[in-house]
């Protein structure tokens, strides 16, 4: 169960960033292999990003090399884009009520 964390700094006010994301949200939701994305924002630090859950490592790799991430890296409203891959520690996550048991069952 691969997780992707993408973070970046904002070059624009948080409200402007949030408005610009409306159009891309459906595009991300439509990407094959993306189970969900949690949008994150730290307005005080002018940081944003997302936590993504994918069906497979291949789906994660395809997303990272795809057009959405390529556009993000070139977007003038953001800078310092970082992407990190993680594996889910299923037993501990289940203990703290993370959705892994449900998600694994629907794979």
Q: How confident is the model at residue 23 (pLDDT cuts 50, 70, 90)?
A: confident
Residue 102 has pLDDT above 60, yes or no: no
CATH number, position 84: 3.30.70.100
CA 107/CA 35 separation, integer angstroms:
10
Are 63 and 54 within 8 A, CB to CB? yes
Q: What is the mean pLDDT of the chain?
A: 92
pTM (two decimals): 0.88
pLDDT of the residue at 106: 54
Domain that residue 27 falls in:
2-105
Cβ atoms < 10 Å from Cβ of 90: 14
Are 79 and 8 in contact by the 8 Å Cβ rule? The answer is: yes
| pLDDT tens, position by position, 40-92 | 999 999 999 999 999 999 999 999 999 999 999 999 999 999 999 999 998 89
Structural domains counted in the chain: 1
Report whether pLDDT(36) > 90: yes
Encode 46-85 in three state secondary structure: CEEEEEEEECCHHHHHHHHCCHHHHHHHHCCCEEEEEEEE
Chain centroid to CA 21: how far? 12
Q: How far apart are CA 67 and CA 72, in angstroms?
A: 9
């Amino acid at each position: 169960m691969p997780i992707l964390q993408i973070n970046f700094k904002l070059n624009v006010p948080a409200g402007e960033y949030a408005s610009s994301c409306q159009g891309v949200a459906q595009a991300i939701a439509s990407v094959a292999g993306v189970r969900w994305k949690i949008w994150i924002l730290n307005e005080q630090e002018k940081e944003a990003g997302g936590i993504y859950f994918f069906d497979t490592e291949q789906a994660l790799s395809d997303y990272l090399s795809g057009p959405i991430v390529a556009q993000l890296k070139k977007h003038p409203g953001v800078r310092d884009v970082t992407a990190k891959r993680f594996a889910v520690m299923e037993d501990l996550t289940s203990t703290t009520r993370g959705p892994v048991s449900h998600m694994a069952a629907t794979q």
